[in-house]
Amino acid sequence: MTMWKWKRTGSGLIAGTAVALLIGLSAAPALAAAPTWTIKPGGTATAKAIGKTFLEDTKTKTVLTCTSSSAKITLKKGSKLSGTGIGSITAISFSGCTGPLGIKFTVKSSHLPWKLNAVSYTKSTGTTTGTITGIHSTLSGPGCAATVDGTGATKDNGTVKVTYVNKTHKLTVLASGGNLHIYDVSGCFGLINDGDGSSFTAVNAVSPAQTITSP
């Protein structure tokens, strides 16, 4: 049909092309718009661990336990915000960190600020699910030292999955959903090994309380 029209008239070709374009456009799926976010009050906040913070070698099951940890967060404020980089972790500290055999560790974090990103929102529970990205930390203690990062020791791209619940104002770092690995292991008595996967878990109280929503 289209070939016949093209042979008969140029205008037929134009008309046929126009119809085809209209049909194609109507059949094409609509691109989903990225979700936007609202944060109140935003600004500077602290996230202090409720209870202990844990770092585990997921292969050997060796666990490093810190009695406390605290982070300073800067959040965007207002509405119609992008979820990417919705907040930044500008400082983070760990204290009272102990590993197996009673080894005391110093944990230092760098490549700050780490980025806080909002990914999805569950309205029924007021829960935002997101990520913290850009993680790079080092562990050091008697006879043991290591680096925690994402895809490489110096990539500065460690990622963990997090949730934030408006009602409880708790920011929870989940054990699964991240890409943390252990690198540059020195000593450590075989308790942790270079290239092993790692998980970081903590439950943090955010102050002042924040309300994060997405339409």
Q: Output the tens digit of pLDDT for each of the chain's 215 residues.
A: 333 233 334 444 444 444 443 444 444 455 567 899 999 999 999 999 999 999 999 999 999 999 999 999 999 999 999 999 999 999 999 999 999 889 999 999 999 999 999 999 999 999 999 999 999 999 999 999 999 999 999 999 999 999 999 999 999 999 999 999 999 999 999 999 999 999 999 999 999 999 999 99
- Cβ atoms within 10 Å, residue 109: 19
Distance (Å, whole) CA 160 – CA 158? 7
Q: What is the pTM of this model?
A: 0.84
Burial of residue 102 (CB within 10 Å: 0-12, 13-18, 19+) is exposed
